Homo-oligomer: A and B are copies of this chain.
Amino acid sequence: MTVSPSLISSDREAEFLADWAVHSRFGAIEGTNGVDRQAASAADGQQRKWFEELLVKHGFSVHRDAIGNQFGLLELVPGAPFVLTGSHMDSQPTAGRFDGAYGVMSSAHACFAVADELRADPSQAKFNLAVVNWFNEEGSRFKPSMMGSNVFTGKAELEAALTTRDAAGITVAEALDELGERGDFTVPEIASYAEIHVQQGRSMEEDGVAIGLVNATWAAHKYEFKVTGAQAHSGSTLMADRQDALLGAARLVVTARELVDDFEPGTLHTACGQLTVYPNSPVVVASEVSLLLDLRSPSAEVIAAAHEKLMATIAQVSDDDRVEIEIVAEHSWDQNPYSEDGVELARSVADDLGLTSAKVMTVAGHDSTNMKDEVPTVMLFVPSVDGVSHSLAEFTKDEDLVSGLHHLTEVVRRLAAGALA
């Protein structure tokens, strides 16, 4: 995690850290180091306006596409494709300030640096430069996650995304229009994509690695369950007569945790993050519970084995507790590799800059998970203290932020010069 003194003392680093400090105030939660800046919230809108001004100040033109992805473009080679780099500025509720946001801000500053160099010596430029702030990567307000890059890469329908409603019944289209953040821009050809993110895990910190070379996404199987029972008086109804949807759902939550112990440590992550009870009244046995449950593993075989066990438990719970358990939606993916070329480019940049690096897998999905299927892609991590993420306690040291900025700047420089083309 050492960075050469010459790299961390420049004006650019100071400028980056100053902009980063301002940026972190949008949606900041008083008394904490975290933010609440869910997709298309007022704070998200204010930050987008500020970010537009920053991009314009550095000579970039700013545009929004039909799903509210925000692009900053700089055309130095008329008609040439663009190197695109970015991440997302939306957050979970009560989240850390680094997740996504660091990627957008370091992408912008990487492009500012490379743009200045290319303006001075246009002969170095093969491609143009673009920064992106993807809409709704988090999926907390509007499901599913990675909405902006899903639509951009054709993995989701625009119309379906725009008509998605939040818990208050507001659609994506309405929320974006309220902020003036829905546009009709058509992005020119993209040559390559780069993204940087804080690691949502602790391996880099433990191993003393400055730059994570992301080479694959874990396999996963995600489920939305609906547990249906029968509404009844929660005091007087005989226990044997009850069909308690919350009991059935609670057994799934416990099962998800217990599944983990059937496999080698670290090979299966499971979670239930969202659970909604109806009617959720003090003296009523719940008739319906919606529940999201995820299985994640580097191994598709582990996922398949865990899936079988989960299905067997569901059958048992349905019988024992006389509730119906329905899979409303599910999607799964195998271990999903990033291209070797991109990993190799990132490794050579780290070596040339004297930064320690190592291949790491990502458990979570990123917008680059979508982009890597479209264009040559580089995905990078910087360390996160204790691997904490989606939490007010998320933290990455300035020196690691700056190392990542330098690395990403060199990656963008090489991509703009034609690397991976």
Contact = CB atoms under 8 A, between A and B. Distances in A.
Given A236-B201, A250-B250, A390 B231 contact: yes
A275 B277 contact: yes
Contact of A276 (B279, B280, B364): B280
A254 B390 CA distance: 28
B246 A283 contact: no
Nearest to A392: B231
Given A231-B390, A247-B257, A139 B283 contact: yes
Interface in A225-251: 230-241, 244, 246-247, 249-251
Given A231-B390, A234-B390, A247-B254, A273 B283 contact: yes
Given A283-B139, A283-B364, A389 B273 contact: no
Contacts of A230: 391, 393
Contacts of A275: 246, 275, 277, 280
A287 B139 CA distance: 18
Given A257-B244, A363-B236, A231 B391 contact: yes
A253 B272 CA distance: 15
A69 interface: no
Contacts of A272: 234, 246-247, 250
Given A139-B282, A253-B246, A282-B145, A233 B364 contact: yes
Contacts of A199: 236
Nearest to A241: B387
Contacts of A93: 279, 281, 284
23 contacts: A92-B283, A93-B281, A95-B231, A138-B281, A138-B283, A139-B283, A201-B237, A202-B241, A220-B235, A231-B390, A231-B392, A233-B364, A233-B389, A234-B390, A236-B362, A237-B388, A239-B260, A244-B271, A247-B257, A247-B272, A250-B250, A271-B285, A275-B280
Given A238-B266, A250-B254, 10 more contacts: A93-B279, A199-B236, A231-B391, A236-B362, A236-B364, A238-B269, A238-B387, A239-B257, A239-B269, A241-B386
